[in-house]
Structure 1
């Protein structure tokens, strides 16, 4: 498995978890659809399935992310995923991925940086910023790492938190399909993905309480409405009909997700929520 694929898992997580919608029940969620809840979550990552051609026999690791901010100050997401990969020859490699992003509350600006370590040695760094420019809303990107470059992204492109909010809006509105282009700084800051999200039917509070992990029960996820979601990521330039990868998860009305499954085609990774902490939200000072 390439390091870029593992790094993509972190960026996908940023897309999924960047928008944690505040609310104690669906009615409250509808009223506060633009208010985000700071939180810290930990997921244990394991190999779900692998074809023989992948050469992978085991994946074990942990993904940690911390989301903070407000519409006034913007939204920050700091993430880290450490994963040990075992191949068919019995050899192991440790990948340490670190990512930090900041997104302006109105979605006009986005900053990102990520670093990848392979067996404790720095192997890749990406850093840049993007700005949405009027009047046609073209996104201009300036990269400083791994090399200086400037990009122009035409069309309606969403940043991660924008996408998360729109996805939750669609779920609450009862829609079963949401499509969007996403720019999140992945693949050395040069990739835009076409995404198609399939949103399953609403799961009423209390329906799956018996299936929840203890941390999910302790944090009240069983008392919230939720939706099964599946998002396919397609290469916008190639026009592929088959997704580069797909992620499935259960999305709750407070924005928390659990039961992750990241499928790259020749292998898939499962993420189990093991820790969840709601952080104090800062107040906007108008």
Structure 2
């Protein structure tokens, strides 16, 4: 059975001449993501016979805390129970954690993959854009010590998320980027192509938002855009190449997402928002990042 992969929602080289070395603050401007914890119920949307999957259910918990001065920490736990066509069930548990400097110069990340409560793989490392910003140096400590050097034009997850909102506010409908988030053993840079839809009409802004969430967070008064991002392997960049996977969702201007849909090709899953908890904003102590 296939293992789930997931890059951060709030998970390059942008078509509107945005440099990966530009500070997040310069991109954000009026973009302010609210610290929060969001819970999504995961269900199987479709599966081809070749996927080996007959049933799937699960939950994803995403958490964002931090600020421009303290940097941003993202945590995600993605647990699914997958039943194969032979009737055998398997529990997949993906856990990720990352901290990103507000100026987009540093990224620390850890990813652990459990299967049936057994730790199968851990990736840990850090990425440093350096003073010049021409390259990003990656130092991996798990599963083994390894050094990599990638283009300084790559974007880290929070840079990408904030750039999506900035592009949406400008009315742009396409955003191309190279994205590095430490996934795939920390050795993968994805080429991404994001399509940004028109701002959702006020009357439809709460579609897919439970009443309990509406009582906690004012989303009706916030702009929201439908977005779809295709993730391509840089080794497969032919004109008709198929993306490794595709992610679509609605993204509010405060960073909360709804109506998740992840297409892995031979199967796809949906994520329905069930709860949101607003968290305290990290206080600034005179330093920008660590």
Q: Given the two structures, how large is their TM-score scaled by the length of structure 1?
A: 0.89
SS of aligned partner of 1:165: helix
Aligned pair partner of 2:221 in 223, 246, 249: 223
SS of aligned partner of 2:75: strand
Q: Where in structure 2 are the equivalents of 1:117-156 lying within 5 Å?
A: 117-156=114-153
What do residues 50-105 of structure 1 show as CA deviations (whole Å, max 9, x unaligned)? 11111111111111122111111111112211110011111100011111100001
SS of aligned partner of 2:212: helix
> Partners in 1 of 2:180 and 2:254 — Cα distance?
24
Q: Which residue of 2 aligns with 1:198?
A: 195
Deviation of 1:48 after TM superposition, in Å, equals 0.5
Unaligned runs of 5+ residues in structure 1 are 16-29
Matched, 1:72 2:69: yes
Q: Which residue of 2 aligns with 1:243?
A: 243
Q: Which residue of 1 aligns with 2:55?
A: 58
Deviation of 1:209 after TM superposition, in Å, equals 3.6
Please give the root-mean-square deviation of Cα atoms over the aligned residues, in Å. 1.6
Matched, 1:181 2:175: no
Residues 204 and 283 (structure 1 numbering): CA distance in 2 closer, same or farther, change over 3 Å? farther
> Partners in 2 of 1:39 and 1:211 — Cα distance?
18
Q: Which moved more, 1:85-94 or 1:63-72?
A: 63-72
Unaligned runs of 5+ residues in structure 2 are 12-27
Residues 93 and 14 (structure 1 numbering): CA distance in 2 closer, same or farther, change over 3 Å? farther
> Partners in 1 of 2:224 and 2:187 — Cα distance?
33
Q: Which residue of 2 aligns with 1:102?
A: 99
**How many residues are treated as equivalent by the alignment?**
267
Q: Which has the higher helix share?
A: 1
Q: Hey, which bits of structure 1, 4+ residues long, moved more than 4 A? A: none
SS of aligned partner of 2:8: helix
Contact persistence 1:95–1:118 (CA under 8 A): yes
SS of aligned partner of 1:116: strand
Matched, 1:252 2:248: no
Q: Given the two structures, how large is their TM-score scaled by the length of structure 2?
A: 0.87
Contact persistence 1:212–1:222 (CA under 8 A): no
